[in-house]
Amino acid sequence: MLASPSGPCIIGQMTTVRDLLLEGKHRLSENSAARLESEILLANAMEVSRSYLFAHPEQDIAEVTANQYLQDVGKREHGEPIAYLTGQREFWSLPLTVSPAVLIPRPETEILVETALSRIPTDKRCRIADIGTGSGAIGLAIAHERPASEIHASDISADALSIARQNAGKLGIRNISFHQGSWLEPLSGQFDLVVSNPPYVAMGDPHLDQGDLRFEPEIALVSGGDGFDAIRTITSTAKDLLVTGGWLGFEHGHDQADDCAAILRSNGFKNIETLKDLE
Ligand code: GLN
């Protein structure tokens, strides 16, 4: 009679922080930030800070955590933005929740916040609109810096507004309210300042097939055949909702300054200024 050993069998292998980081770095090696991105993804899966990883390279990682990390590394290999994998992006030093329902806030958009703030006195109750707010980035940054002012943020997407509301709640920012609808449509009353980071990429632009843009909502990026649809709508409607002497500020593409100035002029705007960001 042939007998085989019976009874329980156990096999186990632990994986350390160091092993997982090496694996991530190897799998993301096409990417110049492979090491940093592996650290961000592992810290996220472990719910610790990146500096914790440096202090605990030998720590054993639970299988479920290692699997989540390796799954995220796989998604990153296929181009998914880091911000969507961690669900977080910092803007104006505010930690914001993000999801594929919203554009990922860009550091270069901070110049719009800075410019807006230079036109909002700290001691006056100004009314400010952030239209097409997405994650709420611009509106929340302004609301945070100008607690005496009241900010009204709009977005056509209910999913985006739910993220923006979540961010306001998490950050404890109360001088902002949210309105669902297209640009200025859901807002009433007069505004001292209207700001926006609208979509301004032309349909079919090859940049849309590159990097994070492939995963971001098209509605937040693309605006008609020439990229100016949203800017035209915003400019022609903002003029009726601004107080005398009020400002309209928006982000646009690097080669769109002259056309934007012409659109503003034809709608009666004066004192038009173009500011270059670092990008
Ligand atoms: N600045 C973004 C990009 O080209 C576009 C964002 C937008 O359309 N508002 O990456």
DSSP-derived letter for residue 216 is S
Q: What is the pLDDT of residue 14?
A: 66
Mutate to test the pocket of ligand 1, among 221, 229, 278 (most ligand atoms within 8 A of CB): 221
Question: Ligand 1 test: best mutation among 103, 183, 228, most atoms within 8 Å of CB?
Answer: 103
pLDDT of 2: 44
151 C-beta closer than 6 A to ligand 1: no
Distance 188 CA to ligand 1 centre (A): 28
Ramachandran region, residue 267 (left: φ > 0; alpha: ψ -120 to 50; beta: rest) = alpha
Q: Is the pLDDT of residue 64 over 70?
A: yes
Q: Give the Cα separation of 89 and 82 in Å (integer).
A: 9
How far are the Cα atoms of 22, 140, 219, 232 from residue 154, in angstroms, in the given order?
Answer: 44, 12, 14, 17
63: CA distance to ligand 1 center in Å? Answer: 38
Q: Is the dihedral of CA 38, 41, 45, 51 positive or negative?
A: positive
DSSP output for 11-32: ----EEHHHHHHHHHHHTTTST
Residue 173 has pLDDT above 70, yes or no: yes
Tell me the C-alpha distance between 231 and 62, whole Å: 50
Residue of the CA atom closest to atom 9 of ligand 1: 199
CA of 42 to the centre of ligand 1 (A): 28
201 lines ligand 1 (CB under 6 A): yes
Beta bridge partner(s), residue 178 = 153
* Cβ of 111 less than 6 Å from ligand 1: no
Q: Which atom of ligand 1 is nearest to the CA of 207?
A: 4
Shortest-distance Cα residue to atom 2 of ligand 1? 221
pLDDT of 8 above 90: no
What length is written for the chain? 279
Residue 7 pLDDT > 80, yes or no?
A: no
- Asked if 272 and 265 touch (Cβ cutoff 8 Å), the reply is yes
Outline where the chain has alpha helix (H). Answer: 17-27, 34-46, 50-55, 63-77, 82-86, 110-117, 137-145, 158-171, 229-241, 257-266
Tokens for 93, please give them. 């030093």
The three-class DSSP label of residue 187 is coil
- pLDDT tens per residue across span 19-28: 999 999 999 9
1 has a pLDDT exceeding 50: no
- 95-136 pLDDT, tens digit per residue, is 999 999 999 999 999 999 999 999 999 999 999 999 999 999
213 lines ligand 1 (CB under 6 A): yes
In this structure, what token pair is assigned to residue 100?
């594929």
Within 8 A by CB and 6+ apart from 260, the residues are 228, 231, 250, 252, 274
Structure confidence at residue 6 (pLDDT):
54
For the chain, give the percent of residues with pLDDT over 70. Answer: 95
CA of 80 to the centre of ligand 1 (A): 17
- State the helix-helix crossing angle for 34-46 and 17-27, rounded to 10 degrees: 130
Q: Point out the ligand 1 atom lying closest to the alpha carbon of residue 200.
A: 8
Q: Quick one: which of 167, 162, 44 has its CA closest to 105?
A: 167
Whose alpha carbon is nearest atom 10 of ligand 1?
213
Q: How far apart are CA 187 and CA 85, in angstroms?
A: 33
Check residue 3 and give its pLDDT.
47
Q: Say what the pTM is.
A: 0.92
pLDDT digits 0-9 by tens, 202-256: 999 999 999 999 999 999 999 999 999 999 999 999 999 999 999 999 999 999 9
Does ligand 1 have an atom closer than 6 angstroms to the CB of 200?
A: yes
106 lines ligand 1 (CB under 6 A): yes
For the CA of 198, the nearest atom of ligand 1: 9
